[in-house]
Amino acid sequence: MQERVSCGDGTHKMSLPAGSSQSNGSPHGTMEYMTSPDNSAQAEAWNGYEGRHWAERQRRYDALNDAANEPLLEAARITGTDRVLDIGCGNGRITRLAARAGAYALGVDLSAPMLERARVSAQAERLDNVGFAQGDAQVYAFDSGAFDVAVSRFGVMFFADPVAAFANIGRALRPGGRLAFICPQDFSGSEQATVFAAVARHVQLPQPSADAGPGSLSLADPEHTARVLTDAGFREVVVSGVELPHEWGKDAEDATGFLFGWGPMQHWLRDADPAAEARAREAAVEAFRTYETASGVRLTAAHWVVTALRPTP
């Protein structure tokens, strides 16, 4: 059983059951679950429907995002002696790949359902140099200088205070330690945007914007990203563009069912007229049909691969 206690700074700490958060080789002692009150909505979502949806569809989400693995890990340049921190690790795909390449990898995420899937997957792959901890990287009490590399696959766009979050991640890195993450570029004109535009002709959807605060596009502006990282204490920030294929489903109907089960879509359509939602689903099927291939529905999207260094004294 986990015990939740309120702290004087408004964060929360939760002691983790023995053996649940880490495996052999961890550079840490006791792990604690800490969440900033500013990120409480994210914590609620990822421990509710959204987290369960991702955990129960681990293979689907890996198929959607696995094309990002190679450019991210190439940018991270993990060696056999590296201790790796995976931020927003979700079901632990990158954490496990990092553990295979390095000496040890720790995945941190808000979502208990996804972390449970990550642990089960690591055990199935017989990895004994990987661990997982529930927590908010913006305030998590990492040991100073405990890691050589910090990585993230689409997991660093949701911080309420990104400068504070990256500063905290930076403190977890040794001097000269490396940061590498991948995040989406602006959706405007993307193939995914055409699908959402088709849906939006029948139901109301929010307009994605890099200025809307925490969210998938919060780091879509590379100049803003460079400022955030510089203000957080990083140096030698490099932002490089990459286009990647994303596998949405076996056919247009399957991709549509996956999209409409996605947590944000469920939230946006909670008050939608059923007839309008049915028309929106039909429109999505037709939009996805454009991207059907012999191996399934494939949409290409543009992303940023971002690297930076924690400076040496």
Tens digit of each residue's pLDDT (9 = 90 or more) over 237-275: 999 999 999 999 999 999 999 999 988 899 899 999 999
Q: What pLDDT does 38 receive?
A: 63
Whether 6 has a pLDDT exceeding 70, the answer reads no
Classified as helix, coil or strand, 214 is coil
Q: pLDDT by residue (tens digit) across 67-110? A: 999 999 999 999 999 999 999 999 999 999 999 999 999 999 99
Q: What pLDDT does 2 receive?
A: 27
Beta bridge partners of 182: 153, 305
176-191: buried (b, 16+ CB within 10 Å) or exposed (e) per residue? ebbbbbbbbbebeebb
Q: What pLDDT does 47 receive?
A: 83
Of residues 188 and 236, the one with the higher pLDDT is: 236
DSSP, res 23: -
Q: What pLDDT does 46 receive?
A: 78
CA 33 to CA 53: how far, in whole Å? Answer: 22
Q: What pLDDT does 211 receive?
A: 61
Mean pLDDT of 5-13: 29
Whether 20 has a pLDDT exceeding 50, the answer reads no
Mean pLDDT of the chain: 87
Q: What pLDDT does 48 receive?
A: 83
Q: pLDDT by residue (tens digit) across 130-164? A: 999 999 999 999 999 999 999 999 999 999 999 99
The residues, ordered by sequence, that sit 6+ positions from 61 with a Cβ below 8 Å of its Cβ are: 54, 90, 91
pLDDT above 70 coverage of the chain, percent? 86
pLDDT band of residue 290 (cuts 50, 70, 90) is very high
Whether 12 has a pLDDT exceeding 70, the answer reads no
Of residues 112 and 27, the one with the higher pLDDT is: 112
The residues, ordered by sequence, that sit 6+ positions from 267 with a Cβ below 8 Å of its Cβ are: none
Whether 4 has a pLDDT exceeding 80, the answer reads no
CA 33 to CA 138: how far, in whole Å? Answer: 12
pLDDT band of residue 27 (cuts 50, 70, 90) is very low
DSSP, res 99: H
**Amino acid letter, 117:** R
CA 132 to CA 49: how far, in whole Å? Answer: 21
pTM reported for the whole predicted model: 0.85
Q: What pLDDT does 33 receive?
A: 53
CA 148 to CA 173: how far, in whole Å? Answer: 6
CA 122 to CA 95: how far, in whole Å? Answer: 9
Q: pLDDT by residue (tens digit) across 163-189? A: 999 999 999 999 999 999 999 999 888
